[in-house]
Structure 1
Amino acid sequence: MAAVCSGNAVPVWLSEDDLSCIICQGLLDQPTTLPCGHSFCLRCLHDLWVSKRGAVDGCPWACPICRKGPLTKPKLHKNPLLQDLVDKYLQAAREVEAGSEPEPAPAPRSAPQDSSSEGEHSLDSPKLVTFSISQKKIQEILHNLEEIQEKLQGSVPGRAPPRERVQEMTSSLCLLPDQRRPAPRKASHLSLWAISPTFDLRTLSYNLEVSNNSRRVTVSRGDLHTYHWSPQRFSISQVFCSQALSSGQKYWEVDTRNCSHWAIGVASWGMKRDGMLGRTMDSWCIEWRGPGQFSAWAKMKKTDLQSDLPEVVGVWLDLESGELAFYAVADHERLLYECEVSSSSPLHPAFWLYGLSPGNYLEIKQLNT
């Protein structure tokens, strides 16, 4: 997470997601840390407990992430160390956006080399936050931010995505689905390779539920579900599909009209169950967090996208050439983002429903195959 340099200057690379609250999906505000070690906005957690939306087995003060709840209601106190880190992040972000550099400090030995892309100056881009503190306080920060440390240890941005490459379809539409061909430009022609994946209940987060046909995933309106424990279950509101894709070309579509914040992509089965889609080296996605907050993530590298909300997202995966493409599917189809994928294990369709907005859902469309 950090390297101690001369003068007790500690360079720390952070992104907004490292300091965000899973309940409101914003930067932590008056952060409070539960006995289990997970942190949230004090007000968000208080409101969640009052509404009892996060209750587990009759315990209204269970942690929204790990579902652990003490026998007695814990007192909520602001975590001053975590608040200090949030404040310093915001200060560094404002300096970068204003065109000035944060307070100079020796770069960490493995500091990533940022590119000069436009996304480099967004609030979500990693910032170098530098401050001088005692060794004891450093240890306290590392102790309180253990979860953040785990995320940051591998947070070296990957290489930039390849240049956009979408070729026109050839006239051979009668080719069999398993015959290799370039990614077509028009998503409607991809129906030759259409599949309709289904959600894997073993991976389903406790605050999600799946329809009977296993193609709709919804943020639960009531208490967290008491699913059987599974080592494959996500600790945050994510889910995989059961289909393991290891060869050929595949295409599927997802209806996003009933979900305000989402991420859609693919990941290897070995993705850590406390990891976030796109923020690991074995996952890729596009995500919508509201107007002006549309982006793609590929191996922890963020790319800002300029587009309105795509009501239906088409996902094209060519495992022979190692290509992944996302389309906005409407009266006419347009490419949203394309990147390379590589994995030593099969890939699974993967989804993330941000926050705890009851009733929000994503639906995998049933395509004619």
Structure 2
Amino acid sequence: MSLLYEDIVKLVANNLKCSICMEIFTKPVTLVCGHNYCQKCINGCWAKSIARRDCPHCRADVSSTKLEINFTLCHILELQDLGGREKWEQILAETDQPDQTQHARRTVTKVASLLILSNTGLHAEFVELSFSPQLGNRRLVFHTESHRVETQPGHQARTSHGRFDACQWMAEQEFRGGWVYWDVDTTFSTGWAVGVAYPSLKCNERLGRTPSSWCLEWSSGQLSAWHNKIKTSVKHSFPNGIRVILDMPKGQLSFQSLCNSQLELHSFQVDSSGPFIPVFWLYGLSHNALTFPIN
């Protein structure tokens, strides 16, 4: 295939994944808002809610509508001339490899990825983050009932100094393996950073400014990715929701926009051995908040 043709096929393949299970659609259905999910995934998501049925992506209320099978997606997934579902899975396995080694390792990677997934049943697992006062700056407070971290400008929320000098908070979860993700609602924050770091991140170190931390940041009206003091500009408007995906078997950390059909904003290659801990920064000179939706 030509480079242009390969790029188009890979782009199509990456849009055939359900944003809940992070796998290729199985019996895809469309909500009235236009977003697509596996039928089993969306029903399972709604089964956890006692309030109302809404879209996990845009939060639109879809209680008064019914699920509709997306026949177009079904036909694309089963294209026999292409090779059907198995071919799409192989394309995605190739796409996930680093560009510089992709062509040389294409065949081995394809077979190995399919064997690993089939033998381990590996799926992206949603993580509900929790926060301890000892792991955050004293100007930050976590509201358990609303799953919300916010700044307390003008006064000290706690008497202890906390984990960081900067307005940062490290979650309690530590990841040493697996494929996990968590979501962050940034609607009520004018300055923030979301990312991961090694547990050794020091109290005077800023997220993304060290060799041991990586992040996506919105600051001074600009979106950028940071690692080891290197800033990479991300050409995108303010995203109201971020999905952070840590795929440790592949050594990949990626950030997706929850407002643009899981558009990938940036990705890093990281050491697959870890361990990694989610870390967040908030601009501390005004009232800011980050909320962590529960799946």
TM-score of the pair, normalised by structure 1:
0.47
Contact 1:265 1:284 in 2 (8 A): yes
Q: Summarize the Cα distance change of 1:244–1:297 in structure 2 as closer, same or farther, 3 Å threshold.
A: same
User: Residue 273 of structure 1: SS of its match in structure 2?
Assistant: coil
Deviation of 1:341 after TM superposition, in Å, equals 1.1
Contact 1:243 1:349 in 2 (8 A): yes
Structure 2 distance, partners of 1:350, 1:278, is: 10
Q: Residue 254 of structure 1: which of 180, 184, 191 is its match?
A: 184
Does residue 225 in structure 1 map to residue 157 in structure 2? yes
Structure 2 distance, partners of 1:268, 1:323, is: 15
Q: Deviations over 1:104-149 (max 9, x none)?
A: xxxxxxxxxxxxxxxxxxxxxxxxxxxxxxxxxxxxxxxxxxxxxx
Please identify, of 241-250 and 299-308, the stretch whose mean Cα deviation from structure 2 is larger: 299-308
Aligned match of 2:291: 363
Does residue 279 in structure 1 map to residue 206 in structure 2? no
Give the fraction of aligned pairs with identical amino acids, expressed as a percent: 32
Deviation of 1:299 after TM superposition, in Å, equals 2.6
Aligned match of 2:41: none
Contact 2:248 2:272 in 1 (8 A): no
Contact 1:198 1:214 in 2 (8 A): no
Contact 2:135 2:170 in 1 (8 A): yes
Q: Residue 207 of structure 1: which of 139, 155, 180 is its match?
A: 139
Contact 1:269 1:347 in 2 (8 A): yes
Aligned match of 2:65: none
Structure 2 distance, partners of 1:250, 1:203, is: 21
Structure 2 distance, partners of 1:197, 1:207, is: 19
Aligned match of 1:240: 170
Q: Residue 289 of structure 1: which of 211, 219, 236 is its match?
A: 219
Structure 1 distance, partners of 2:160, 2:266, is: 37
Does residue 194 in structure 1 map to residue 126 in structure 2? yes
User: Residue 133 of structure 2: SS of its match in structure 1?
Assistant: coil
Letter in structure 1 aligned against 2:271: S
Q: Deviations over 1:196-225 (max 9, x none)?
A: 211232111011111134831111044113
Q: Summarize the Cα distance change of 1:247–1:276 in structure 2 as closer, same or farther, 3 Å threshold.
A: same
Contact 1:204 1:240 in 2 (8 A): yes
Please identify, of 221-230 and 260-269, the stretch whose mean Cα deviation from structure 2 is larger: 221-230
Q: Summarize the Cα distance change of 1:213–1:267 in structure 2 as closer, same or farther, 3 Å threshold.
A: farther
Q: Deviations over 1:230-285 (max 9, x none)?
A: 5xx10110001100011010011100000000011001111111100000110000
Structure 2 residue runs of 5 or longer lacking an equivalent are 1-9, 18-22, 27-37, 39-91, 97-121
Q: Residue 342 of structure 1: which of 271, 283, 287 is its match?
A: 271
For the aligned residues, what is the CA RMSD? 2.9
Contact 2:196 2:279 in 1 (8 A): yes
Letter in structure 2 aligned against 1:365: P
Letter in structure 1 aligned against 2:141: E
> What does 1:143-222 align with in structure 2 at a 5 Å threshold?
168=14, 169=17, 171=24, 192-213=124-145, 215-222=147-154
Structure 2 distance, partners of 1:214, 1:199, is: 13
Q: Deviations over 1:313-367 (max 9, x none)?
A: 0001001111000000125220100111127541111100023203x10111111
Q: Summarize the Cα distance change of 1:335–1:345 in structure 2 as closer, same or farther, 3 Å threshold.
A: closer
Letter in structure 2 aligned against 1:246: R
Deviation of 1:193 after TM superposition, in Å, equals 1.9
Contact 2:176 2:276 in 1 (8 A): yes
Letter in structure 1 aligned against 2:148: R
Q: Deviations over 1:20-52 (max 9, x none)?
A: xxxxxxxxxxxxxxxxxxxxxxxxxxxxxxxxx
Q: Summarize the Cα distance change of 1:182–1:330 in structure 2 as closer, same or farther, 3 Å threshold.
A: farther
Deviation of 1:298 after TM superposition, in Å, equals 1.9
Paired residues, what number?
189
Q: Summarize the Cα distance change of 1:330–1:267 in structure 2 as closer, same or farther, 3 Å threshold.
A: same
Contact 1:199 1:210 in 2 (8 A): yes
Q: Summarize the Cα distance change of 1:172–1:332 in structure 2 as closer, same or farther, 3 Å threshold.
A: closer
Q: Summarize the Cα distance change of 1:316–1:362 in structure 2 as closer, same or farther, 3 Å threshold.
A: same
Structure 1 distance, partners of 2:209, 2:218, is: 15
User: Residue 202 of structure 1: SS of its match in structure 2?
Assistant: helix
Structure 1 residue runs of 5 or longer lacking an equivalent are 1-164, 175-180
Structure 1 distance, partners of 2:233, 2:194, is: 15
Aligned match of 1:303: 232
